[in-house]
Amino acid sequence: MGPYVLRRLGQSLFTVVIVVVSVFMLLRLMPSSGYFTREDYVNMDATARTAYLRNMGVLDNPAIQFGHFISGLAKADLGRSIAIYPRTPVLTILAEKAPYSLWFGLAALVISMGLGLGLGVLMARQKDKVADGIGTVYVTIVRAIPSLIWLFLIQQWVTGLLGWPMVFYGDRPVSWILPTASLSLSGIAWYAIWLRRFMVDEENRDYVRFATSKGLPRRRVMTGHVLRNALVPLVQYFPQQVLLTIAGSLLIESIYSIPGMGGLLVNAIRQQDNPIVQALVLLYSVLGIAGVFLGDILMMLVDPRIKLEGSGGAKAGKA
């Protein structure tokens, strides 16, 4: 297992480098007019524009720029924002925004897993009965209707009904509820439908019949065998989901005016705020790749058939 983990770590690092370098270089291919506001661009003459760009450092050879970026990284300096928050260190911006996304995301994840897995177990146990039907209706609605529509309806109706604030206020806990709930709704549906599906699959396996024939009560068969085995395929996604909560949700954060990370990447790309784009690409690729990697390790721990050895493929052994 040791050598495998090391090799996977090496591969992951290599992937991160590829992603960061290519995004970095691609950004340098963008037209330089993107660095100006429309007004500035019109008001400046050619010399002023060149001076402006040189001052920004975007006229240097991209390789040199990349060198600056890397040496900055070593000093934990991600550069300063250009367009969105002029001259503010990127790290300061992230430190300010990330906690909002992280806390909302983690709270939503805990709720999604708690309620979603519970609902999934209930639906599997009550398969084809009333609870299963209600659950299916819920899942279908949440997954089939574009989230923008019901997110907006929740904001409009529920705030009106309960007299809660329409947007997020850091100092009013009651305004935290709806964003968290909205963020959880689709997660609940995701966990419920997949757990139900995996449990129903497992329930029809021979080993369940055998466990029953040994005289185990149905409850113990369900928890000790069916549920345990059904959770295995879900475990793989868990690290990713935890790590990527930091990216925030574009939709929810803009609906409730939460100053989180959601939308920051899109804005930064649109305004050619290269330092922010670079920092976010680095962050998200590291987290995403780490998530997949940890997911594989976790899988290996819960499924003894998977041996992460040899040529690196997960292999289900059959003697």
Partner 1 sequence: MSADNILEVSDLRVSFSLRGKMLTALRGTSLELRRGETLAVVGESGSGKSVLAKTFLGMLDKNGRVESGSIIFDGQDLARYTTEKQWLGIRGKRIAMIFQDPMTALNPLKTVGEQIREAAALHRGLDRRTSRLAVIETLERVGIGEPELRYRQFPHEFSGGMRQRAVIAAAVACRPEVLICDEPTTALDVTVQAQILDLIKSLQRDLHMSVLFITHDLGVVASVAQRVAVMYSGQVVEEGSVEEVFYDPRAPYTWALLASLPQLGVKGEELYSIKGTPPSLFKEIRGDAFAPRNPQALEVDFVEEPPAFPVSPTHWARTWLLDPRAPCIEAPRSIMRLRERLSKARKDPGRAGKASGGEA
Instruction: Kindly list the residues in this chain that would bind partner 1 in the complex (CB under 8 A).
Output: 205-207, 209-218, 220, 224-225, 228-229, 232, 302-305, 316-319
Pick between residue 176 and residue 194 the one whose CB is nearest to partner 1: 194
Q: How far is the CB of 300 from partner 1 (least distance, A)?
A: 12
Q: How far is the CB of 111 from partner 1 (least distance, A)?
A: 28
The DSSP secondary-structure symbol of 224 reads I
Do residues 200 and 132 touch, judged by C-beta distance below 8 A?
no
Pick between residue 42 and residue 316 the one whose CB is nearest to partner 1: 316
d(CA 193, CA 212): 25
* Gap between the terminal Cα atoms of the chain: 21
Max CA pair span of the chain: 87
Q: How far is the CB of 317 from partner 1 (least distance, A)?
A: 4
Pick between residue 143 and residue 205 the one whose CB is nearest to partner 1: 205
Q: How far is the CB of 196 from partner 1 (least distance, A)?
A: 17
Angle, alpha carbons 286-234-137 (nearest 5°): 120
Pick between residue 92 and residue 223 the one whose CB is nearest to partner 1: 223
Element (H, E) at 256: none
Nearest Cα residue to 90 out of 285, 283, 240? 283
Q: How far is the CB of 28 from partner 1 (least distance, A)?
A: 50
Pick between residue 97 and residue 225 the one whose CB is nearest to partner 1: 225
Pick between residue 161 and residue 319 the one whose CB is nearest to partner 1: 319
d(CA 186, CA 141): 10
Structure tokens given for 105: 């995301």
d(CA 68, CA 228): 50
Sequence letter at residue 6: L
Do residues 312 and 4 touch, judged by C-beta distance below 8 A?
yes
Q: How far is the CB of 32 from partner 1 (least distance, A)?
A: 58
Do residues 186 and 193 touch, judged by C-beta distance below 8 A?
no
Pick between residue 242 and residue 302 the one whose CB is nearest to partner 1: 302
Q: How far is the CB of 215 from partner 1 (least distance, A)?
A: 3
Structure tokens given for 39: 């007004």
